[in-house]
Structure 1
């Protein structure tokens, strides 16, 4: 076929032909997928913000009310890998629609819950459905957009949707809870999810429902689920402070390690493993996921310590703390779009290094905060660096972590990337909370000592960023020149044809 246009793929410099690679239907489908991402982030951010209102409404203690958030996190983190792999088996379109439907049902159940037990069950379902949506939606993005410039732009848009959801979640969550009561926080999701389900049925072509006929690895899935859940729960126990009793988090961590070793052993013994070992032999897959662990540990814990500082030291309300944090989300949106353009020009590796460098600067700027420090002079610059760094590095990592992955394993790639980010956040929170607690031990009511503990935590964030830089330098490689890149033309032609038929 005659190809009038040429595009160069990141890093490799090899020419990829993308004649009519995507049309308006592809961008409409991306907008639909972004709605699911938006609702996921909005739901998590808003529920975390109004947790005190939920505790008052159900007469819960602070410790017990944390399970409203923790149950969702455990279900989401534990379900990502399984949902991603299962999506490859039953079809990405089918998994996406199932996730949206369960999300709508679980949101309704959350709002109608009269008891904590029912709310916890509903939040677990919400977490599982969010994992189904997140892994399959990103896999669909990979299916729709061929590797190269178009996919990088799509990933940039996808990355910008998260902080938009965070921004709106901060405002909508507090308004709905104050005006109508906390159940309306969940009812708000229902019409959005139902509309998304209807549009997915009408817009997503059935070609994206093609499934892998290989047998699903149930034993491996259970081992992986148990390992991830125990790991996240052990790190959560450490982050929340075990109160001097370290036996439970240590046992949980040991159990997670034992299940992980058993999972790795089992995966080498079966014909159709949940995670084939050759998966990590694709260029940059392992490096991108290691870098994701590091930058998630550094960036995703900043809001936690920033909120503690603003509310405990500066006396801000939860709502005003969210407003003060908004510059990060705004700059993160811009950073996502800029990151996509930078990837097209400079490649994944340089973009990831730039983003991690900005995150390191953010941690160092945050470490200079004081009891009476100026928001404009100290915290605002740090928030700007944080948003820019996270927006840029996550685009590079998502691109590197999915480049070269065949469609039959795109759900797995998406699930692994999301899961490593979740685990990295848990590792960062557990580590940095422990560092802050060590510094402020014995004087938890002394503001000066508390600030010193926060400073140590932000130094730890800078250290995680430096670790990420080292991992990128050591593991991210330029993909070799490949003549078969032009197969993306056939992929896009088939997709366009299936769109016209659907």
Structure 2
């Protein structure tokens, strides 16, 4: 079937592959943030209620995070190029459907299917990159570009979302993906070789993926619906109970029945892995909810337009990008655990500053100041978390550890956003009736940032008491490379972890 494999491999253009992967990854990372500044316009146009609005973000991140591990296994099973084609095509079509949505349900369904496409694109694109560029400086540079696109997608997303919403229409935050998907498909067809048929012997753990995705989705649904279904209601208790059964079923199935488990439960007994994933969940909750609630504060309380709100996010986003890149140098001098402790404390201070927002606030004091402090603390955390998440993991399970960390990022952010939406709504309802609408909203947003500050302090405690005190000298790991740290070969990191 692949009789021209050698000729195809010789004709591969590394530059073309890099462009293909960059476009695909930009589209995936862009959609995490591009919709945030358009949320008020979506609510007005389609009639979203306050809790339903969060599903525009959650529907994407839940299916994205819940299916990432399955997407990686599917790329191994069926080949990276076919999965990249299917993912790009699905992403483009569902973006078109979302842009044409006439009601909340249609938009949320389109966002969920976008997440499925993203879960196919992300692991296939990274696998294409790492198999094209041999280990060494060239791969390091390629992964640097990949990481810059991944981190910079959030910064580009808020600005692009503001521009499109302000000067054209909110629908274009969805429709903009259509030409990107077409370009990605054309580049993939031209530059990505069809040389790998995939590992046909590997089974796909579809049951595990379904249990994990349905369980987390139902958990988020129950949390979001507490504004209309009280915590003690049969609907809420029943939803939480079914979610618990599904998630428990996932762990039981992975540990006893799965032939090729998405998650080998023994990995979680590694304190470095489990601690790093808990830490990542706390950080992702802070990042996801910051994008969401700061955007609402800027537009709903301070009265900024979509474009101005998008530009107001730039310092925060750029701080995350610069911090991620600078973390590589910090890791050369300090242990990952120490960076996680110090960065978590700085981030908690920034979030506490955010909690002091005022209904009559201004950009300099209420947004810019806390944005810089928070991003200065959180930005340098991403690479140390990635290093800790793969410390002591066998080389053949580095991919599993990487997928687990990415899933913790996406799913943790979704669950956190659902919970914080409930907290914000309850706090807003509990504000004095005599307060202005802006003051009541600010009261709810302030409570969210206060809780965020506490969660980062919990993350610091995890770094202090859960992560090993004396770990290996953590250079850039396979996952760290994905977050912007070019460096040693994965085999080296895995072996060091094993020796420790």
Which residue is 1:417 aligned to? 405
CA RMSD of aligned residues (A): 3.8
- 1:269 is matched with which residue? 256
Whether the 8 Å CA contact 2:62–2:410 is kept in 1: the answer is no
Match of 2:5 in 1: none
Deviates more, 1:203-212 or 1:185-194: 203-212
Cα contact 1:136–1:411 (8 A) shared by 2: no
Which of the numbers 245, 252, 268 marks the counterpart of 2:239? Answer: 252
Match of 1:446 in 2: 435
What is the CA-CA distance between 1:464 and the residue it aligns to?
Answer: 0.8
Contact 2:58 2:417 in 1 (8 A): no
Give the Å deviation of 1:108.
3.2
Tell me the TM-score normalised to structure 1 length.
0.77
Cα 1:329–1:120 shift into 2, 3 Å: closer
Is residue 368 from structure 1 mapped to residue 356 from structure 2 by the alignment? yes
Return 256-265 or 446-455, whichever deviates more.
446-455
* 1:473-488 equivalent positions in 2, closer than 5 A: 473-477=464-468
Q: How far apart are residue 420 of structure 1 and its match? A: 1.2
Tell me, yes or no, if the aligned pair for 1:143 and 1:407 is still in contact at 8 Å: no
**Retained in 2: the 8 A contact 1:328–1:384?**
yes
TM-score where L is the length of structure 2: 0.78
- Distance in 1 (CA, whole Å) between partners of 2:372 and 2:77 is 41
Cα distance in structure 2, aligned partners of 1:465 and 1:285: 18
Q: Name the counterpart of 1:172.
A: 160
Shift of 1:382: 0.9
- Matched with 2:484 is none
Distance in 2 separating the partners of 1:383 and 1:490: 34
Q: Which has the higher contact order (CA 8 A, sep 6+)?
A: 1
- Confirm or deny that 1:466 pairs with 2:457: yes
Which residue number corresponds to residue 237 of structure 1?
225
SS for the counterpart of 2:238 is: helix
Aligned equivalent of 2:314: 326
Matches of 2:358 and 2:181, distance apart in 1? 44
For the 8 Å contact 1:157–1:337, the answer to whether it is kept is no
- Secondary structure of the structure 1 residue equivalent to 2:34: helix
How far is the alpha carbon of 1:203 from its aligned partner? 4.0
Q: Does 1:384 align with 2:395?
A: no
3-state DSSP of counterpart to 1:268: helix
Counting matched residue pairs gives 462
Identify the range of structure 1 (331-340 vs 106-115) with the bigger mean alpha-carbon deviation. Answer: 106-115
Gaps of 5+ in 1: 1-23, 493-502
Structure 2 unaligned blocks of 5 or more: 1-11, 478-487, 493-500
Determine which of 184, 206, 220 is the counterpart of 1:218.
Answer: 206
Matched residues in 2 for 1:349 and 1:274: separation? 27
How far the C-alpha of 1:128 sits from its partner, in A, is: 0.6
Following the alignment from structure 2 to structure 1, what is the Cα–Cα distance between the partners of residues 160 and 317?
15
Cα gap change, 1:300 to 1:141, in 2 (>3 Å): farther
Cα 1:390/1:119, change in 2 over 3 Å: same
| SS of residue paired to 2:313 | helix
**Could you tell me whether the CA contact under 8 Å between 1:354 and 1:392 is conserved in 2?**
no
What is the aligned counterpart of 2:266 among 271, 278, 286? 278
Change (3 A) 1:107 1:209: farther
Q: Please give the alpha-carbon distance, in whole angstroms, between the structure 2 residues aligned to 1:74 and 1:221.
A: 12
Cα shift readout 1:407-463 (whole Å, capped 9, x = no counterpart) = 765553343222212232234334444555555515266255654544443222111
**1:414 to 1:129, Cα distance in 2 relative to 1, 3 A:** farther
Q: Is the 8 A contact 1:156 1:336 kept in 2?
A: no
Q: Rate the CA distance shift 1:123–1:490 in 2: closer, same or farther, 3 A.
A: closer
Identify the match of residue 88 of structure 2 among 100, 114, 118: 100
After superposition, where does 1:62-101 map in structure 2 within 5 Å? Answer: 62=49, 68-101=56-89
